[in-house]
């Protein structure tokens, strides 16, 4: 057990530099936790001359990932190059070469999990991926190990810190989306091109991984209903607030009989809900199990050192021998049938928040209610603020909260409502978390 | 790996019944998670004829714990009898007989951890104890495995659901302690004799275990500074609220250089702090690591099924072989010197909330400020609400928030303040979390 574990690093960007720094600067601590030295042997980078936040010995750095993978003194390859095409190739090569793999690559697992895990099983190697979902929050360990006595019944996650930072600024400072995004970019919480963060794509990758672990279903990325926060209007945050709710970009998956409903969307949450109180760039996940009940996990979802903390925890798990046993027992992305299937998005039941801009004249509300009633959707509350008599005929916001209904019915009613002449802008709607 | 793992249960009260129910009713699920059947073979109880929430086959039940421990078809003994004397004896006998032990017994580990763990190492067996702290919250796994790359720098926990339920009722409904306790008892959140819950003893046991895992220090139970919530006055919750704080019974341990400060006390927390928002009978623990930063774990801290969920997770970990590796690598309660020592309670630095009942006459505030200044304690804010002129000379509350100071200095100043004639009741004080 006192043999060193040799580690090769593919990619030395932000997270890779954090991992290298820990391995180089905290080697005594890590050796004591792992029961053997964790030795960084080689690092593959794209540009030898780039400045990095960690100083690497010259001899350690190469531009050839294959040389790292084939190094006989390396037993574990840490893949942190990101993207899908090259990462997939290197991970498969590493497993085939008999190396364990640690990765933070959510897109890779969400899109090629089955292939990667099958390759690992074939070569009797382990893939560890705690860092792929929610950075420093140990959600993979929680769902796959700590809650192993449970059938998970629902997962609700704030899985994208950038979006949550923007939503917090919008809710607390009344900023519009564009201003909040600019502030997030200035403070380093959002990238120059924030698309994947704010359109829900990043959270959907993470949700696909969690759905695999919790429900054993392989959800094609494209099949996940996904709406981002770019169109979110400050007005809707204000109405939500008035109703006792806040709006969060949630990645949700829950059991409905033998089916799993899932989506990534801005959702109204009651203010007293723990997830509603998660501010700024934090990630948080509420997991409900049929034995334990409600549990919640929160922490930094991204960043150099938080993510490195998760990667190195996986390395320690491999050195101790835990990760191998977890990997064998989980049978992820295998053909094992758990009996669950994905629910069609149109069948997913939810309560809805509906905000319309309507002409303030007699009969408008009646027409809208009729359209909802036709689809058997009942109304739980309505807000239309008192307008002055002289405003009659002008455009005013009307907010309706519905009882639970299938998404398909709701969208059908919406088409009828949007077609009405008295509606001056497309309807805005969000799901309401129970 | 497909051999059944035989399990013997000592004690079949609330949690024991939950564990038995899971093992008997969810055997397919558990076998699939563990890679082998988990088979409950024998259950030792005190009273054969007591009604239980689980139906056990007659032949399984015995009043002889030793018969369970010595049964050759049992590889794991689950100790759920509670208390210290008998539990210690049976756990040591089980380990000596070559059985692994799973326990939820915080008092046993807090008081006899060194002996129990040494015995386990001697006989090359494993002790798993996720259920001993915070029931359904996987805090042991988080601190010992998921955060293994970190030096933990602080742990702050709401570790007693009964106290938190009472404090929530006091803060939100303005109830006094006695009324809130009665309600908690009526709803089953507090026992007829709630002493250990409300005096901080239960939380102190749990803190001793966490301090061992996070800092490697063995803290004698009696050495933990401990104050309960029985004297907490609704007035102080109101003043805290006015200042932007709430009061929680916190179990805290944090690094101050090479020393570990720790206590269990009612503490003022800013309302925006995640722990301040934990309501009702939930437990929650914030753990800060030097690599990951702030993380938080929340869930049900007690109860039949949440605690059973943690016990069975340990059983699955043993069946998979993870628990054995974790136990070997952690070296808990061993002679290993981590370099940390326990800080003397008088040296623990904190900000303080001080509430006095004083005569409303000239010079009183000056005398109090002088007493604090003499101990080099500076004042951060003062509340004394405007009194009517005709009230001069009557008794009014005076609230002072201090800057950080050693506890010893603060208590010395307090003795001088309490001795002053203008102070009509003993001073009330609480630490303020940073």
Q: What is the 3-state secondary structure (H, E, C) of A76-118?
A: EEEECCCCCHHHHHHHHHHHHCCCEEEECCHHHHHHHHHHHHH
Query: Residue B277: closest CA among chain A residues belongs to which residue?
Result: A274
Best mutation target, B19, B126, B161, B299, to test chain A (most A CBs within 10 A): B299
In this structure, the strands spanning A100-103 and A76-79 are: parallel
Q: Which residues pair with A399 in a beta bridge?
A: A355, A383
User: What pLDDT does residue A1 have?
Assistant: 43
- Catalytic pick among B99, B106, B206, B248: B206
Assess B279–A contact: CB distance below 8 Å, yes or no: yes
Residues 6+ apart with CB under 8 A from B1: B35, B36
Indicate the residue of A299, A317, A328 with minimum beta-carbon distance to B292. Answer: A299
Burial class (CB in 10 A: 0-12, 13-18, 19+), A389: exposed
Q: Which bin fits B248, alpha (ψ -120 to 50), beta or left (φ > 0)?
A: beta
Write out residues 117-146 of A within 8 Å (CB-CB) of B.
130, 136-138, 141-142, 145-146
Task: Find out whether B110 and B210 touch, Cβ atoms under 8 Å.
Answer: no
According to CATH, the topology of domain B139-301 is Dihydrodipicolinate Reductase; domain 2 (3.30.360)
First to last CA, chain A: 50
- Give ∠ CA B220-B226-B227 in degrees, rounded to 5: 165
- Tell me which residue has tokens 């998005």: A345
B198, two tokens: 């409300």
Rounded to 5 degrees, what are φ and ψ at B66? -65, -35
Query: Residue A148: closest CA among chain B residues belongs to which residue?
Result: B313
Q: How far does B61 lie from chain A, in Å, by closest CA? A: 23
Indicate the residue of A136, A293, A329 with minimum beta-carbon distance to B292. Answer: A136
| The three-state (H, E, C) secondary structure of chain A, written as one string | CCCCEEEEEECCCHHHHHHHHHHHHCHHHHHHHHCCCEEEEEEECCCCCCCCCCCCCHHHEECCHHHHHHCCCCCEEEECCCCCHHHHHHHHHHHHCCCEEEECCHHHHHHHHHHHHHHHHHCCCCEECHHHCCCCCCHHHHHHHHCCCCCEEEEEEECCHHHHHHHHHHHHHCCCHHHHHHHHHHCCCCCCCCHHHHCCHHHHHHHHHHHHHHHCCCCCHHHCEECCCCCCCHHHHHHHHHCCEEEEEEEEEEEECCEEEEEEEEEEEECCCHHHHCCCCEEEEEEEECCCEEEEEEEECCCHHHHHHHHHHHHHHHHHCHHHHHHHHHCCCCCCCCCCEECCHHHCEEEEEEEEEEECCCCHHHHHHHHHHHCCCCEEEEECCCCCHHHCCCEEEEEEEECCEEHHHHHHHHHHHHCCCCECCCCEEEEECC
Rounded to 5 degrees, what are φ and ψ at A368? -65, -45
Chain B residues with CB-CB distance to A29 below 8 A: 149, 151
According to CATH, the topology of domain B349-432 is Alpha-Beta Plaits (3.30.70)
A52, two tokens: 């990095």
Assess A148–B contact: CB distance below 8 Å, yes or no: yes
Query: Residue A324: closest CA among chain B residues belongs to which residue?
Result: B322
Indicate the residue of B145, B300, B321 with minimum beta-carbon distance to A293. Answer: B300
What is the rounded distance in angstroms from the CA atom of residue A213 to the CA atom of residue A201?
Answer: 19
Query: Residue A144: closest CA among chain B residues belongs to which residue?
Result: B33
Q: Do B329 and A35 touch (CB under 8 A)?
A: yes
What CATH number labels A347-432? 3.30.70.260
Nearest to B101 by CA among B110, B109, B91, B93: B91
Q: CA–CA distance from A261 to each of A214, A215, A227, A284 (Å)?
A: 13, 11, 15, 20
User: What pLDDT does residue A2 have?
Assistant: 59
A228, two tokens: 């981002």
Task: Find out whether A251 and A139 touch, Cβ atoms under 8 Å.
Answer: no
User: What pLDDT does residue A360 have?
Assistant: 85
* Cα radius of gyration rounded to whole Å, chain B: 24
* Cα radius of gyration rounded to whole Å, chain A: 24
User: What pLDDT does residue A96 have?
Assistant: 98
Q: How far does A16 lie from chain B, in Å, by closest CA? A: 14
pLDDT tens for chain A, residues 1 to 434: 459 999 999 999 999 999 999 999 999 999 999 999 999 999 999 999 999 999 999 999 999 999 999 999 999 999 999 999 999 999 999 999 999 999 999 999 999 999 999 999 999 999 999 999 999 999 999 999 999 999 999 999 999 999 999 999 999 999 999 999 999 999 989 989 999 999 999 999 999 999 999 999 999 999 999 999 999 999 999 999 999 999 999 999 999 999 999 999 999 999 989 999 999 999 999 999 999 999 999 999 999 999 999 999 999 999 999 999 999 999 898 876 678 999 999 999 999 999 999 988 888 899 999 999 999 999 999 998 877 677 677 889 999 999 999 999 999 999 999 999 888 888 999 999 97
Q: Do B325 and A328 touch (CB under 8 A)?
A: no
Q: How far does A82 lie from chain B, in Å, by closest CA? A: 21
- Catalytic pick among A50, A99, A122, A206: A206
Crossing angle for the helix pair B322-330 and B304-320, nearest 10 degrees?
90
Assess A281–B contact: CB distance below 8 Å, yes or no: no
b/e map B141-159, b = 16+ CB within 10 Å: bbbbbbbbbbbbbbbbbbb
Task: Find out whether A197 and A229 touch, Cβ atoms under 8 Å.
Answer: no
Respond yes or no: is residue A206 known to be catalytic: yes
What is the rounded distance in angstroms from the CA atom of residue A152 to the CA atom of residue A216?
Answer: 11
Q: pLDDT by residue (tens digit) across B332-355? A: 988 766 789 999 999 999 999 999
Q: What ranges make up the beta strands (E) of B45-140? A: 61-62, 76-79, 100-103, 127-128
Q: How far does B90 lie from chain A, in Å, by closest CA? A: 26
Domain ranges in chain B? Answer: 5-135+306-330, 139-301, 349-432
Q: How far does B83 lie from chain A, in Å, by closest CA? A: 24
The three-state secondary structure class of B1 is: coil
Q: Do B321 and A320 touch (CB under 8 A)?
A: no
Task: Find out whether A307 and A283 touch, Cβ atoms under 8 Å.
Answer: no
Write out residues 14-73 of B within 8 Å (CB-CB) of A.
22, 26, 29-30, 33-35
What is the rounded distance in angstroms from the CA atom of residue A177 to the CA atom of residue B157?
Answer: 36
The single-letter DSSP state of residue B275 is G
Taking every pair of Cα atoms in chain A, the longest distance, rounded to a whole number of angstroms, is 84
Indicate the residue of A30, A299, A326 with minimum beta-carbon distance to B294. Answer: A299
The three-state secondary structure class of B277 is: helix
Indicate the residue of B130, B150, B277 with minimum beta-carbon distance to A277. Answer: B277
- Tell me which residue has tokens 């009633």: A373
Q: How far does A310 lie from chain B, in Å, by closest CA? A: 7
Q: Do B138 and A142 touch (CB under 8 A)?
A: yes
Q: How far does B19 lie from chain A, in Å, by closest CA? A: 10
- Give ∠ CA A390-A391-A395 in degrees, rounded to 5: 165
Q: Do A22 and B312 touch (CB under 8 A)?
A: no
- Tell me which residue has tokens 């570990």: B260
What CATH number labels B5-135+306-330? 3.40.50.720
What is the rounded distance in angstroms from the CA atom of residue B120 to the CA atom of residue B124?
Answer: 6
pLDDT tens for chain B, residues 1 to 434: 459 999 999 999 999 999 999 999 999 999 999 999 999 999 999 999 999 999 999 999 999 999 999 999 999 999 999 999 999 999 999 999 999 999 999 999 999 999 999 999 999 999 999 999 999 999 999 999 999 999 999 999 999 999 999 999 999 999 999 999 999 999 989 989 999 999 999 999 999 999 999 999 999 999 999 999 999 999 999 999 999 999 999 999 999 999 999 999 999 999 989 999 999 999 999 999 999 999 999 999 999 999 999 999 999 999 999 999 999 999 898 876 678 999 999 999 999 999 999 988 888 899 999 999 999 999 999 998 877 677 677 889 999 999 999 999 999 999 999 999 888 888 999 999 97
Q: Do A329 and B33 touch (CB under 8 A)?
A: yes
Query: Residue A295: closest CA among chain B residues belongs to which residue?
Result: B299
Q: CA–CA distance from A121 to each of A10, A114, A333, B147, B385 (Å)?
A: 22, 11, 11, 27, 70
The three-state secondary structure class of B254 is: strand
Residue A73: CB atoms within 10 Å: 11
HSE value, Cβ hemisphere, 13 Å, CA-based, for A33: 28
User: What pLDDT does residue B337 have?
Assistant: 67
Q: Which residues pair with B295 in a beta bridge?
A: B287
The single-letter DSSP state of residue B146 is I
Q: How far does A141 lie from chain B, in Å, by closest CA? A: 7
Assess A74–B contact: CB distance below 8 Å, yes or no: no
Assess A182–B contact: CB distance below 8 Å, yes or no: no
What is the rounded distance in angstroms from the CA atom of residue A254 to the CA atom of residue A235?
Answer: 29
Interface size A-B, in CB pairs within 8 Å, comes to 175
Task: Find out whether A75 and A100 touch, Cβ atoms under 8 Å.
Answer: yes
Chain B residues with CB-CB distance to A312 below 8 A: 148-149, 291
User: What pLDDT does residue B1 have?
Assistant: 43
Indicate the residue of B278, B293, B312 with minimum beta-carbon distance to A149. Answer: B312
- Tell me which residue has tokens 């922490």: A299
A301, two tokens: 């979802």
Q: Do A309 and B292 touch (CB under 8 A)?
A: yes
Q: Which CATH superfamily is domain A5-133+306-330 in?
A: NAD(P)-binding Rossmann-like Domain (3.40.50.720)
Indicate the residue of B291, B313, B325 with minimum beta-carbon distance to A149. Answer: B313
ipTM: 0.95
Chain B residues with CB-CB distance to A305 below 8 A: 291-293
> Which run of H or of E encompasses B304?
helix B304-320
Q: Do A298 and B295 touch (CB under 8 A)?
A: yes
User: What pLDDT does residue B434 have?
Assistant: 77
Indicate the residue of B146, B279, B305 with minimum beta-carbon distance to A292. Answer: B305
User: What pLDDT does residue A339 have?
Assistant: 87
- Tell me which residue has tokens 């936790």: A33
Write out residues 288-327 of A within 8 Å (CB-CB) of B.
289, 291-300, 305-306, 308-310, 312-313, 316-317, 320-322, 325-326
Nearest to A152 by CA among A207, A85, A71, A111: A207
In this structure, the strands spanning B405-406 and B349-359 are: antiparallel
First to last CA, chain B: 50
Q: How far does B26 lie from chain A, in Å, by closest CA? A: 9
What is the rounded distance in angstroms from the CA atom of residue B51 to the CA atom of residue A270?
Answer: 41
What is the rounded distance in angstroms from the CA atom of residue A249 to the CA atom of residue A252?
Answer: 10
Q: Where are the alpha helices (DSSP H) in B216-258?
A: 234-242
Q: Do A316 and B136 touch (CB under 8 A)?
A: no
């Amino acid at each position: 057990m006192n043999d060193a574990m040799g580690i090769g690093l593919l990619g030395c960007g932000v997270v890779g530099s954090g991992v290298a720094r820990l391995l180089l600067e905290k080697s005594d601590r890590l050796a004591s936790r792992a029961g053997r030295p964790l030795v960084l042997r080689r690092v593959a980078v794209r540009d030898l001359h780039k400045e990095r936040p960690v100083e690497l010995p010259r001899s350690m750095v190469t531009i050839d990932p294959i040389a790292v993978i084939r190094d006989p003194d390396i037993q574990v390859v840490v893949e942190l190059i990101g993207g899908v095409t090259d990462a997939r190739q290197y991970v498969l090569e590493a497993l085939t070469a008999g190396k364990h793999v640690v990765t933070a690559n959510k897109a890779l697992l969400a899109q090629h999990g089955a292939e990667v895990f099958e390759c690992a099983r074939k070569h009797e190697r382990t893939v560890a991926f705690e860092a792929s979902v929610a950075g420093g929050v140990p959600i993979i360990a929680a769902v796959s190990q700590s809650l192993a006595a449970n059938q998970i019944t629902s997962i609700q996650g704030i899985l994208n810190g950038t979006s949550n930072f923007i939503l917090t600024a919008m809710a607390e400072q009344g900023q519009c989306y564009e201003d909040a995004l600019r502030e997030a970019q200035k403070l380093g919480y959002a990238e120059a091109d924030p698309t994947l963060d704010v359109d829900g794509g990043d959270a959907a990758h993470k949700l696909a991984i969690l759905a695999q672990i919790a429900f054993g279903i392989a959800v094609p990325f494209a099949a996940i209903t996904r709406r981002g926060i770019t169109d979110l209007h400050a007005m809707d945050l204000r109405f939500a607030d008035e109703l006792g709710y806040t709006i969060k970009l949630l990645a949700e998956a829950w059991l409905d009989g033998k089916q799993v409903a899932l989506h990534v969307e801005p959702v109204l949450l009651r203010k007293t809900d723990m997830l509603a109180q998660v501010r700024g760039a934090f990630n948080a996940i509420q997991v409900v199990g049929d034995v334990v009940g409600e549990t919640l996990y929160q922490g930094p979802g991204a960043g150099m050192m938080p993510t490195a903390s998760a990667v190195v925890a996986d390395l320690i798990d491999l050195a101790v021998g835990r990760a191998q046993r977890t990997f064998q027992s989980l049978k992820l992305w295998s053909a094992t049938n758990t009996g669950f299937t994905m629910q069609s998005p149109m069948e997913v039941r939810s309560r809805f928040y509906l905000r319309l801009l309507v002409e303030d004249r007699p009969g408008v509300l009646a027409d809208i209610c009729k359209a909802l009633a036709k689809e058997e959707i009942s109304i739980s509350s309505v807000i239309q603020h008192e307008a002055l008599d002289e405003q009659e005929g002008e455009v005013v916001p009307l907010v309706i909260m519905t009882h639970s209904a299938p998404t398909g019915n709701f969208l059908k009613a919406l088409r009828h409502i949007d077609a009405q002449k008295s509606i001056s802008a497309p309807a805005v709607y969000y799901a309401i978390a129970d």
